[in-house]
Structure 1
Amino acid sequence: MRYRRTSLRLPDELPVNPLFARQGERRVPRYSLGTDEMLPETAYQLIHDEILLDGNARQNLATFVTTWMEREAEQLYAEAADKNIVDKDEYPLTAAIEDRCVHIIANLWHAPDSHAALGTSTVGSSEACMLSGLALKRRWQRARAAQGKPADRPNIVFSSAVQVVWEKFANYWEVEPRYVPVTAERPCLTPEGVLEVVDENTIGVVAVLGITYTGAYEPVADIAAALDDLHQRTGLDVPVHVDAASGGFVAPFLHPTLRWDFRLNRVHSINASGHKYGLVYPGVGWAVWRTKEFVPEELVFKVAYLGGQESTFNLNFSRPGAQVLLQYYNFLRLGRRGFTRVQQATHDVAETIAHGLAGMRAFEVMWPGVDLPVVCWRLADGHTGNWDLYDLSNRLRARGWMVPAYPLPKNREDVVVMRIVVRNGLSGDLAHLLLDDVADGVKFLDRLRERMPAEGRTTSSFHH
């Protein structure tokens, strides 16, 4: 929950505290470029003071994005802030480290040959999704052309609980989105739902390893098996892309026997966010293809740039290299055992929170963090008519906690839930303090003798 600022425009001039301003810097324009220079200390202090009103990132339990790294990682971040990763001729070691990360991730996801896999870093998982979807579309178009069939009506299949980036992909690249509705009985994408909507124009099926709403894994292996059977029966060959934005750096360590990755031949590509459970500050994502054949050659550009010839398959060109180095730092620093230890700790905290919430008669815990360390709950039926979860979210916001309340996807919009994303940095001690604040919020709201007034109340949003 966030309090919205009013639409009233702030004064055109920004007052400057005379204690850190020099003569002539007492007032500066807020919405236009000033005439004169300003001392660096003054510019820093102005911005520093203004962002004090932002929330505490460690208490932001709405986001999946990393909000804490070690001091050594922050030092490395500062040292590498000026590196442009596209300039591989100028920064060859940064380019080599990006390549190593791709092979490490391909190996982690059980590519048949991690050196034969193709991959790239991206600004985040959203760009990785766009690239993966584009590769699916182009391969489908190639196959249709080879068969002499029309290629003007592509579609892509996913559940109605999919993250909004896939809606954007379908819109931007002119692909029909085919949503498989989630229901109480089918809360995620299922093989049956997929088979109901795929056809010869389907460029691919997107299965999500960690639904944004709930943290649940969709059954990738079952979906792949159903498509394998469809291929054998009909000749229809539909690939799977796994959106592992969050689960890609959790499942390999906490659910190592779960078959969701390149162990399934039907899976052609996978994306993940390094800046989520890859434990890196925003923003870095990864897109990896099983083998190079799954990326059409015309999508990979070779360009002369900054002193050399580079191969690039990205939507962005110039972009920071520091986050890629931080990803490699985590790989070196943690290894398999370290990643397992860190991710298990987040699961343990999620279990503590789920257990604490289940002990409060006001709530029904719907998803207790079994897959991703994400806890999702609703207001118990009949508990109260005087307040709802939006009101509780507001109470927690007053204590600094950002815990969103929101309706479930289409067909389940009548169910409003709250969700906590447990990330590295939310300790067991903080979890107990959070539960105390939840209990205090419920106690306060339960004392209301009439309905909480709607004026001033806001709805929440959650973050991918």
Structure 2
Amino acid sequence: MLSLHIDPEEVLQKAADNPVKKQDSRSAFHSYVRDGDIPIPKYTLPETGVNSKVAYQVIHDELTLDGNPTLNLASFVHTWMPPEAEKLIMENISKNAVDQDEYPATQVIHARCISMLANLWKVPKGMKAIGTATAGSSEAIMLGGLALKKRWQEKRKAEGKDYFHPNIVFGANAQVALEKFARYFDVECRLVPVKEEHDFIMHPPDALQYIDENTIGVMVILGSTYTGHFEDVALMSDLLDKLYEEKGLDIPIHVDGASGGFFAPFAYPELKWSFDIPRVASINTSGHKFGLVYAGLGWVLWKDESLLPKDLIFELHYLGSVEYSFTLNFSKPAAPIIAQMFNFLNLGYQGYRDVARKDLRNARLLSRALETTGYYKVLSNIHKESGNKNAGEHEPELYLPGLPVVAFRLSDEFKNDYPHVQQAWIQNLLRGKGWIVPNYGAPPAEDKQEILRVVVRETMTADLVERLVTDLIAITESLMTTDSSGGTAQMMAAIAGPHSKQGVHQPEAEHGRPQRPHPKRQNTYAKQC
């Protein structure tokens, strides 16, 4: 059936009280009884402003169309902090952390956070760890990668060898920030294919064939965004030790601990993944994920200051004193750093462990409930016992390690019985009930398989798990009653709306959102926007 796209702005123009008089499509009329009708332009700066109450109400009302952060189960980003933490954030919202001379107490707190993380990540005695706060773990990954590249270049120059063709190795399940580093900083990206039999994460033995004398390092992911599985840092290190003995290739490891860096130390304190492994040179993490801070904070640490090349450190003289910097941006809000210290003091080690235990307990509850229905197969494994007989009944160590993530798909039996049901429909119908649960393809080589994923954060209580399971069962069983005539597919396409393929409605006057480029084959997993 052919259909024409209807321009919503044209429809609204014709529906106006005075359609003959052309309305400026860049303006919107916001009606308030006490303030009158006030024309406010959408895409140009107003000639005159409006009072603060109106400005607030206009933006506040439009933002009600956003999803509920608590029900956003797609995101790893933390969405709640105690009132005292929010008070500290507001008290320090105007401070710029880069102004070290003006805000010395903030710098002391920053340094203490680095020390606490270094201790948490088991920096060996005698090492002088060094690190910095960042805008997030993406910037932290860039900095970790740059240090790997610079050290490799310095070594190659000293040996009189080619230093123009660096490469880096990581799994095809990598988060896009790892690929951004490679593309932005001219490093060949060597993706290790992942397989379902290895939990959709990099299998360390498979990585060896991609390593050569131009490899600046291997990035190992502690908590895959696809399924929550931990890649085996210790095994990767052992294999690199053997490679060094056989071929003389001395390859360092950077651990992408965006989520796992703030989770593994508390949930699995005996797991070897951090600086107590000699080949681990640097680690990044997100304070705003399982560090339990609001969005806008990452951390990157090097095991010893000798691992951070001096050429990457800038000496600044124009802020009132001599200061040193290694970041991609300059200004940085101080409030998230202060909020991180609040959590360290408020929770302590045991508090973080209690949160991790609760998250995992609720994730196991969801996993088992999904499997019990028979409609779904759970791909994550944090609900499967590890064989550790010394762990208590509810202790994380009793089960296989991983993030509190539940990755699942329709079971083979369900797909055989109801082949017309598309898994993407479940995502769309859940959104109608307020839940944001992503459905996406697995990494390359397994990308024909679709995965639904729920991130169980601190705000995902057992009561909410019960509601989610109830809604999932109701939605799934409603789809079982549909037929394969094609009408259901058309209905679901209508529910999904144009956003799924065309993106958000973008009027001609709107700038700043990139247009979808012509399809182009990529050497990495990153797809065109």
The TM-score, its normalising length taken from structure 2, stands at: 0.83
Higher mean C-alpha displacement, 82-91 vs 362-371: 362-371
Structure 2 CA distance, aligned partners of 1:39 and 1:113?
Answer: 59
Partners of 1:459 and 1:242 in 2: CA distance: 33
1:176-225 C-alpha deviation (Å, 9 max, x unpaired)? 01111001233321221121110100000000000010000000000000
How many Å apart are 1:306 and its aligned residue? 2.4
Determine if contact 1:368/1:374 at 8 Å carries over to the other structure: no
Q: CA deviation at 1:38?
A: 1.2
**What does 1:188-267 align with in structure 2 at a 5 Å threshold?**
188-267=201-280
Residues 20 and 41 of structure 1 are in contact (CA less than 8 Å); yes or no, is this contact kept in structure 2?
no
**Secondary structure in 2 matching 1:16:** strand
Q: Distance between the aligned counterparts of 2:143 and 2:422, measured in 1?
A: 40
Deviation at 1:276, TM superposition (A): 0.3
Q: Secondary structure at the match of 2:118?
A: helix
Superposition map of 1:330-409 within 5 A: 330-369=343-382, 370-381=401-412, 382-409=416-443
**How much does 1:73 deviate?**
1.1
1:453 aligned residue (489, 510, 518): 489
Is 231-240 or 275-284 further displaced after alignment?
231-240
Does the 8 Å CA contact 1:280/1:326 hold for their aligned counterparts?
yes
Q: Is 1:14 equivalent to 2:43 in the alignment? A: no
CA–CA separation in structure 1 for the residues paired with 2:477 and 2:204: 44
* Structure number with bigger Rg: 2
**Unaligned residue ranges in structure 2 (runs of 5+):** 1-5, 13-24, 383-400, 504-529
Write the deviation string for residues 308-349 of structure 1: whole angstroms up to 9, x where unpaired.
Answer: 221000001011110000000000000010000011110011
Q: Given the alignment of the two structures, is residue 170 of structure 1 paired with residue 182 of structure 2, yes or no?
A: yes
Deviation at 1:271, TM superposition (A): 0.2
The separation in 1 between residues aligned to 2:417 and 2:342, in whole angstroms, is 48
User: How far, CA to CA, are the matches of 1:449 and 1:313 in structure 2?
Assistant: 59
| Bigger Cα displacement from structure 2, 362-371 vs 166-175 | 362-371
CA contact (8 A) 2:127 2:303 kept: no
For structure 1, which runs of at least 5 residues remain unmatched after alignment? Answer: 1-5
Q: How many residues align?
A: 454
Asked if the contact 1:103/1:114 (under 8 Å) is kept, the reply is no
Distance in 1 between residues matched to 2:164 and 2:48, nearest whole Å: 56
Q: How does 1:431-446 map to 2 (within 5 A)?
A: 431-446=465-480
- Displacement of 1:449: 1.7
Is this contact kept in 2: 1:350–1:368, CA < 8 A? no
Deviation at 1:115, TM superposition (A): 7.4
Change (3 A) 1:405 1:383: farther
Q: Distance in 1 between matches of 2:405 and 2:123?
A: 28
> Which residue matches 1:284?
297
* Aligned ranges 1:311-330 → 2 under 5 Å: 311-330=324-343
Moved more, 107-116 or 353-362: 107-116
In 2: Cα distance, 1:80 partner to 1:444 partner = 50
CA contact (8 A) 1:106 1:114 kept: no
CA distances 1:77-123 after superposition (whole Å, capped 9, x unpaired):
11111010000111111111011001100110001149710100000
The CA distance in 2 between the partners of 1:286 and 1:7, in whole Å, is 45
TM-score (norm 1): 0.95
